Amino acid sequence: MNIAVCVKRIPKTAEADIFIEKDGKDIKKDNLVFALNDWDGYAVREAVLLKEKYEGEVIVLTIGPEESKEVLTRCLAMGADRAVRIEAPSSSDGHLIAKILAQATKGQSFDLILTGVQAEDDGWGQVGVALAQLLGLPHASIVTHIEVENGKAKVRRELEGGIEELLEVKLPAVLTIQTGINEPKYVSLSAILDAEDKETKEVGLEEIGFTSKAPLDATIDQVSFPPTGKMAEILKGTPEEVVGQLTEIIKKKKG
Amino acid sequence: MLEIFVLVEHRQGQIRDLTYEMLGLGEKLANQQGTSFAAILLGHDVKSFAEDLATRAPKVLVVEDENLKNFNSILYQQTLSSLISKYQPCLLLMGHSALGMDLAPSLSVEMEFPLATDCIGLSFEGARLKATRSIYGGKVNASVSLRESKGYIATIRPGVFSPKMVGEKKGGIVMESSPLQGMVDVKKFIEYIEAPITGEDITQAEILISVGQGIGGPEHIPLFEELAKNLGGTISCSRPVVDRNWLPKERQVGISGKTVKPKVYLAIGISGAFQHVTAMQGSDTIIAINKDPRAPIFGVAHYGIVDDFQNVIPVLKEKTKSWK
C-alpha cells in the first residue's frame, strides 16, 4: 500500500506573544518557533502504522520555502520513506494548495493520500477534501480510525457530541486525519540522524507542470486582535492569597 | 439579486442548532443585499422538519430521497450542485461542522465558487463576499476578501450567530425532484457509533475540575483527582488531553465531546479554543488558571489566575482537605 501524506510547517502561537506585521496582513513570525502541524503528525504516524501492517511506501510532501525541509526530516524520522518539497512561497489559499498537490500526486499509484484535518495556524480545513475532488477520488474527513480490506477502507469519522460514524470508502481515496487517531511515537535522535540519509527531492512548480495563473480565491486584507469583550476578574497576590480568594468563590458558588 | 441558500443540518431525527444560527445569518445578509433566503433540506421523511423550517424561513426547498437519509457527501454534493445550477444562489451557507467540512471544499471546487471556512463574520461589499475568520488559535482575526464570483460558499462557526426565531409569516415549502440515481458504492454510510459512559457522567456534575494540555503530563492527574474529591467534583478535560490518552474520551468537554453547565467550572491549563468554550460557556461560574495572560479562556472566565497551576493547585488541595 502506497501512501502520500501532505504536511505543513506552522508557527506555534499558543503560548507566544503575538505582534502584527507593519503591513497589517499577518503576524510577525521571526520570534516564533516552527514545527510540524499537529494534525499532520498524526497523519504521518497513521501512514507509517498502515505501512507496517500492509507494506508499501510512505511519501511525505510539503509546499513551502527552504525552511520547510525541517518538518520533512521530522516525518522521515517518524518512518516515512522519502520526501518531496515543492518550492513555493507559503500561501493561505487552500484551493491553490490543493491544486498544486493535485498536480504533484496525479498519475502516481497512491492507494491513500492523507492530510491533517486542518492546519494549526490558519485552520481552513479545506485542502484534503478539495484535493480529492481535483483528483476525482472519494474522501472522508475528520477520520479517527482506519482499517483496510479488499480495496476498501473502513473509516470512522468524528461527528459532534461524542458520536462517530462508520463509513466504507473505496481506495484510492483521500482521508483527512483527526488528532488522537493514534498514539504518537517518541522520535529518537538516531532516527533523526538516519532521516538525514533518506531521499528528499526538491522540485519547482514548473517541474511538476503547475502553470496555473488563476487569481487566488481568498486574500487576507488585514489581521487584528479580537475585540476584548468582558475579561475575567484576575485574582492577584501570593499563591496563598489567591487560593484564599479562590476558596471563598468556590464555597459561595457551589451552593 | 440572487438568493442566499442555507443548508439544513440534521442528524438522527433532529435539526441541529447550527441550522437556526445559519438562518439568522442568512436573513441578515439577505436584508443587507435586498434579496431573500431559503432553507435547503435534503433527507428522507423530513416533512416535519420542513414545517418547522417554514416558520423561520420564507422558503424551504426540499429534496426527499431515501438515499439522503444519512449524510453522504457525494450524494449531498450531487443534489446541491443540481439545485445550484437551477436556482443560481449568490451564497450557500453550511455549518463548519463534520457535515460542512466533508462537503464544502469539494462542492466549491466543482462549482468553482470560492470558499470561506469557519467564518465568524460575513458581509458583502457590492457583490463580493468578505469573511472574518479567527486564526492562530484564536489570537488574531483575519479579514478575508474572496475573488469576484457569481456564487460563494461559506461554512459558519457554531455558536457565533444568533439563531433565527419563529416568525409570524409562514414560508412556502417547495418539493424538488431528486437528481440522484441510487446509492454510490465509492462511499457508504454504515452506522453511528456512540461509546457508552463507563465512569462518572460529566454532564451531571455540579463542579468540574477541567484540565488541558497545559498541565504538562498524565503524572499530574492524581493531583487533580484528589482536588476533585475535596471539592465533591468530577474531572473533565479538553481535547488534547484525550488525544494524548491522559484521560478517556468520555471526559472531554467540547463540540466533539460533551456540553456541560456545572455550577463551577475550574479550567486549568486550558487555552480556550472555541470548540471547548462553546461547550462550557453556559456554566454558572467559570474560573480559569493559565500561565498565559493572553489565553482566550480569560475572555470567557468570570475569575482568572495567571500563574503556573503547580503554584496554585497544591495549595488549593491542602486548603480544601477539610471540605470532604
pLDDT tens digits along B230-249: 999 999 999 999 999 999 99
CATH of domain A3-204: 3.40.50.620
Percent helix, strand and coil across chain A, each rounded to 5?
A: 30, 30, 40
Mean pLDDT of chain A: 94
Contacts of B244 in chain A (CB under 8 A): 180, 184
Residues 6 or more apart from B297 whose CB is under 8 A from it? B267, B270, B271, B272, B277, B288, B290, B304
- Closest CB to B116 among A168, A218, A234: A218
Mutation target among A134, A170, A254 for the B interface, most CBs of B within 10 A: A254
Judge: A170–B110 Cβ closer than 8 Å, yes or no.
Answer: no
pLDDT band (50, 70, 90) for residue B1 = low
Contact A220 B142 (CB under 8 A): yes
Q: Where are the domains of chain A?
A: 3-204
Question: pLDDT digits over B103-114, tens only?
Answer: 999 999 999 999
Please count the residue pairs, one from chain A and one from chain B, whose beta carbons lie less than 8 angstroms apart: 266
Fold held by B4-176? Rossmann fold (3.40.50)
CATH topology of domain B202-323: Rossmann fold (3.40.50)
- B189 neighbourhood in chain A, CB within 8 Å: 165-167
Whole-number average pLDDT of chain B: 95
**DSSP per-residue letters across B117-168:** EEEEEEEEETTEEEEEEEETTTTEEEEEEEPP-S-EEEEE-TTSSPPPPP-S
Return phi, psi of residue A226, to 5°.
-60, 145
With residue B184 as reference, give the H or E element that holds it: none
Does the fold of domain B202-323 match that of domain B4-176? yes
| pLDDT digits 0-9 by tens, B164-188 | 999 888 899 999 999 999 888 999 9
B192 vs A contacts (CB less than 8 Å) = 159, 163-166
Asked if pLDDT for residue B199 goes beyond 90, the answer is no
- B99 has a pLDDT exceeding 90: yes
* Yes or no, beta carbons of A13 and B186 under 8 Å apart: no
**DSSP-derived secondary structure letter, B303:** E
The candidate with the shortest Cα–Cα distance to B138, out of B275, B313, B285, is B275
pLDDT surpassing 80 at residue B58:
yes
> Inter-chain contact A246–B245, Cβ cutoff 8 Å?
no
Domain limits, chain B:
4-176, 202-323
The CA distance from B315 to B310, in Å, is 9
State whether A130 and B311 contact (CB < 8 Å). no
Helix (H) or strand (E) holding B89: none
Residues of chain B positioned with their CB less than 8 A from the CB of A158: 98, 256
Give residues with Cβ within 8 angstroms of B183, minimum separation 6.
B67, B75
What residues of chain A lie within 8 A of the CB of B80, using their CB? Answer: none
| pLDDT band, very low/low/confident/very high, at A102 (cuts 50, 70, 90) | very high
